[in-house]
């Protein structure tokens, strides 16, 4: 740690990421900037925090301050462009930044995704597709050339199916279990959580990393579960509940909205046989394209290639078919139906969770809760249908994907 501003930044990250105390995180960031007004990491984190809280004007101001301190910073420019529909001047600014010699692959990825989004908004779909393709190539290079191993993932899915051949036995004491919301990334999980967060009895947990962390501790996973038996499951359950109480203290009913928890439904049900699971689903082509349009974590290399995404989606469908055969009570929440006919879908969702209707669930876009996902601005708007069928703008590029999905 090189100075007080860095100490403040580190504390802010803990408050925001681990404790959901956005007020304390903001105070720490402002203290960091009082100590070092041009401290770029604090300015970027402050902008991101304002985005999480739905404060667009404040986020814009923070990113403008970042660009004043570092005019060539790729992340600040990309985040600024991502706040709304990019005008011609912003589009030219992104292109000029991409044209600067010596840009790192990481910079080219940040700027490339921003360019793709701006061109998509301008309805220049051919140029947008090319920009996103270049952005994904740069992201792959920035991650050291990481590749998705299709066969390895198939073997992993095989192992999950083999490890959980039967439903978990019922047990008492599951009242502490959260509501698990999972599915493909970009399938409506954030929207589902924000709707539920409007209910007086529900606390939004956000994208908790607790289940993947547990799976990581249980290596070789899932094979270790058979050897460890009931004692191992009981310890895992205790670790999860302790971590949940720390992350969301005092909450009665919490949502755990980690999309890729669909991989771990067997573990979830072993720990909490009565846990309610909401499985968000969406048109596969829209889902795949939406993933490819985003700068996701290097741990998701399948998202860098459209046909790898199609393969991942096929394995997801295979695994979900297994979980649904074991646990037919899993609720499918269809994004495309939800945005067209919200009331029946939301009534069904609440009934699944044993909750009474409250009109406030329809006002999810007015909530001041933090949203830390790529859908941060979508869930600040009333329901809309413009994302349904978006793939048709790129139909000419999706022949291989459509063939793979039909197999």
Q: How far apart are CA 84 and CA 358, in angstroms?
A: 31
Domain boundaries of the chain, sorted by first residue: 1-71, 155-406
User: 54: which DSSP letter?
Assistant: T
pLDDT: is 366 or 294 the higher one? 294
pLDDT for the residue 227? 83
Q: How far apart are CA 153 and CA 194, in angstroms?
A: 31
pLDDT in tens, 86-121: 888 889 999 999 999 999 999 999 999 999 999 999
| Domain spanning 1-71, CATH class | mainly alpha
Q: How far apart are CA 270 and CA 274, in angstroms?
A: 9
C-alpha pair distances (Å), 220 with each of 52, 165, 215, 229: 36, 18, 9, 14
pLDDT for the residue 174? 63
- The yes-or-no verdict on residue 381 having pLDDT over 80 is no
Q: How far apart are CA 292 and CA 185, in angstroms?
A: 11
**pLDDT-based confidence at 376, cuts 50/70/90?**
low
pLDDT for the residue 380? 45
pLDDT in tens, 140-156: 999 999 999 999 999 99
pLDDT for the residue 377? 45
Q: State the DSSP string of 345-383.
A: HHHHHHHHTT----GGGGGGGG--S---STTTTGGGS--
Residue from 165, 162, 192, 331 nearest 255 by CA: 192
Give me the mean pLDDT over the 17-28 stretch. Answer: 91
Query: 222 preceded by cis ω (within 30°)?
Result: yes
Q: How far apart are CA 392 and CA 407, in angstroms?
A: 20
pLDDT in tens, 31-66: 999 999 999 999 999 999 999 898 999 999 999 999
pLDDT in tens, 232-283: 999 999 999 999 998 888 888 999 999 999 999 999 999 999 999 999 999 9
Give me the mean pLDDT over the 313-326 stretch. Answer: 99
pLDDT in tens, 128-144: 999 999 999 999 999 99
For the ranges 126-135, 168-177, 211-220, 374-383, the lowest mean pLDDT is seen at: 374-383
pTM (2 decimals)?
0.89
Q: How far apart are CA 205 and CA 335, in angstroms?
A: 20
pLDDT for the residue 372? 55
Chain centre distance of CA 329? 24
Average pLDDT value for the chain: 93
- The yes-or-no verdict on residue 122 having pLDDT over 70 is yes
- The yes-or-no verdict on residue 85 having pLDDT over 60 is yes
- The yes-or-no verdict on residue 378 having pLDDT over 50 is yes
Assign domain 155-406 to its CATH superfamily. P-loop containing nucleotide triphosphate hydrolases (3.40.50.300)
Give me the mean pLDDT over the 328-352 stretch. Answer: 97
């Amino acid at each position: 740690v090189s100075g007080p501003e860095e100490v403040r930044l580190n504390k802010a990250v803990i408050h925001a990421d681990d404790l959901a105390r956005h007020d304390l995180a903001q105070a720490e960031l402002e203290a960091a900037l009082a100590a070092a007004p041009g401290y770029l990491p604090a300015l970027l984190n402050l902008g991101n925090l304002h985005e999480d809280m739905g404060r667009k004007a404040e986020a814009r101001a923070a990113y403008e301050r970042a660009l004043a301190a570092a005019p060539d910073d790729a992340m600040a420019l990309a985040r600024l462009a991502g706040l709304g529909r990019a005008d011609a001047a912003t589009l030219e600014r992104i292109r000029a930044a991409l044209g600067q010699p010596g840009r790192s692959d990481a910079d080219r990825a940040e700027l490339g995704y921003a360019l793709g989004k701006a061109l998509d908004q301008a309805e220049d779909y051919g140029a947008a597709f090319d920009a996103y393709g270049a952005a994904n190539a740069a992201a792959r290079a920035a991650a050291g050339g990481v590749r998705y191993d299709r066969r390895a993932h198939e073997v992993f899915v095989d192992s999950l199916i083999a490890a959980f051949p039967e439903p978990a036995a019922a047990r008492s004491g599951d009242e502490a279990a959260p509501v698990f919301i999972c599915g493909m990334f970009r399938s409506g999980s954030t929207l589902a959580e924000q709707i539920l967060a409007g209910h007086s009895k529900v606390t939004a947990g956000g994208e908790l990393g607790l289940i993947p962390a547990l799976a990581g501790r249980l290596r070789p996973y899932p094979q270790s579960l058979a050897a460890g038996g009931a004692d191992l499951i009981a310890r895992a359950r205790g670790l999860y509940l302790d971590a949940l109480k720390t992350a969301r203290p005092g909450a009665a009913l919490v949502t755990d909205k980690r999309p890729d928890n669909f991989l771990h439904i067997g573990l979830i049900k072993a720990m909490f046989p009565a846990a309610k699971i909401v499985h968000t689903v969406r048109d596969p082509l829209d889902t795949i394209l939406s993933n490819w349009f985003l700068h996701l974590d290097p741990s998701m290399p399948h998202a860098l290639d459209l046909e790898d995404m199609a393969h991942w989606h096929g394995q997801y469908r295979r695994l979900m078919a297994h979980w649904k055969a074991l646990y037919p009570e899993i609720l499918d929440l269809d994004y495309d139906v939800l945005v067209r006919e919200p009331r029946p879908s939301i009534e069904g969702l609440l009934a699944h969770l044993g909750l009474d209707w409250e009109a406030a669930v329809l006002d999810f876009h007015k909530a001041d809760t933090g949203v830390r996902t790529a859908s941060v601005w979508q869930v600040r708007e009333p329901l809309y249908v413009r994302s349904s069928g978006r793939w048709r703008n790129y139909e000419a590029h999706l022949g291989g994907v459509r063939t793979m999905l039909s197999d």
